[in-house]
Amino acid sequence: MNISVFFKQPGKMKQQLLTISIGLILGIGLILTLNSCETEEAQLAFNDIPVVESYLIQTKPVSVKIARKTPYDYNVAISDENLDLLQVKILYNDQIRIIPSIGNGEYKDATFIPQEGVKYKLEFEFNNQTVSSSTEILSKPVNFKQSVTQINMQGIDFSTRPPTRPAMPDPVKLSWVNDDNTYYMVVIENMETAPTAINDYGDREPPGRFFRNAPTQTNQYEIQSMHFQYYGRHRLILYHLNADYAALYNDTGNSSQNLTNPTTNIENGLGIFTGINADTLLVNVIKP
């Protein structure tokens, strides 16, 4: 089960939100600086800190991606830190693991598999500051159940005018135990190598092969039939999340009325370092 792909996507999306938010804040700062013609103040205003992206997933090797916050002014002085030569450490159970660089700001240890219930601390030096964050992998979802294992889906008939829309099947109901009111997220992924679309999209771009809901603190979720875009087998993945991931996911960025820093759990940096656990069910979508 490849569960890391879904956090690459939200990771990229959230990193884009981080970039947009930073650009907005610093862009306004640049306008004020240009108006006052105080280049020296502009140099002092920029804080050269890293952007971190790391999801500790049970059964998956530890991986940490480190990028650099882009300055808004070429006159701003930045550190000479090499993103591939940092000493990235993860501390846990009185042990220290040095995560080797594999290039392009990414650090990975194929022999280091994080475990449920263990507290992990990320730490490295950047621009004379200690960058750090802590997390743990929560428990695997308990008693994850589904209402059906197969649904019948009929596509829209475009041969009629107007097109005939078939009756939709009942939603697929998912449930799990959430006694501690923690965060969960559902992802639906089509597993077929070359899936057949339920509807005819003609020359239009076909929809993606997976769908996810926003993090929730409930113990149930209904997958509406419209979310299934292809026939075949689908994974129904339930992720158990830390609150810091939910906060970053729900961060809609900043506006001129709300100039705050983007959500992060990285000390002396930006981004996310968080633990994830999951369980998976299957459903088959067939044509009647």
Output the tens digit of pLDDT for each of the chain's 288 residues.
Answer: 555 555 554 444 444 434 434 343 344 343 343 344 444 444 445 678 999 999 999 889 999 999 987 766 566 667 788 999 999 999 999 999 999 999 999 999 999 999 999 999 999 999 999 999 999 999 999 999 999 999 998 877 666 677 667 778 899 999 999 999 999 999 999 999 999 988 877 777 878 888 999 999 999 999 998 889 999 999 999 999 999 999 988 875 444 344 456 789 999 999 999 999 999 999 999 998
pLDDT score recorded for residue 69: 79
Give the chain as a DSSP string: ---THHHHHHHHHHHHHHHHHHHHHHHHHHHHHHHHT-HHHHHHH----EEEEEEEETTS-EEEEEEEPPPS-TTS------TTS--EEEEETTEEEEEPEEETTEEEETT----BT-EEEEEEEETTEEEEEEEEB-PPPEEEEES-SEEE----BTTSSSPBPPPPPPPEEEEEE-TT--EEEEEEEE--SSPPBSS--TTSPPPPSEEEPPPBSSSEEEE-GGG--BSEEEEEEEEEE-HHHHHHHH----BTTB--PPP---BTSEEEEEEEEEEEEEEEEE--
pLDDT score recorded for residue 72: 63
Instruction: Enter the tokens of residue 235.
Output: 């994974």
Phi, psi of 58 (to 5 degrees): -60, 135
Give 26-77 as a DSSP string: HHHHHHHHHHHT-HHHHHHH----EEEEEEEETTS-EEEEEEEPPPS-TTS-
pLDDT score recorded for residue 39: 46
Please state, in angstroms and rounded to a whole number, the distance separating the CA atoms of residues 200 and 157: 9
pLDDT score recorded for residue 113: 95
Please state, in angstroms and rounded to a whole number, the distance separating the CA atoms of residues 210 and 70: 31
Domains of the chain: 5-136 (2.60.40), 142-240+279-286 (2.60.40)
Q: Could you tell me how many residues make up the chain?
A: 288
pLDDT score recorded for residue 199: 82
pLDDT score recorded for residue 261: 62
Radius of gyration of the chain (CA): 23
pTM score, whole prediction? 0.77
Instruction: From residue 59, give the alpha-carbon distance in Å to each of 64, 165, 279.
Output: 16, 43, 12
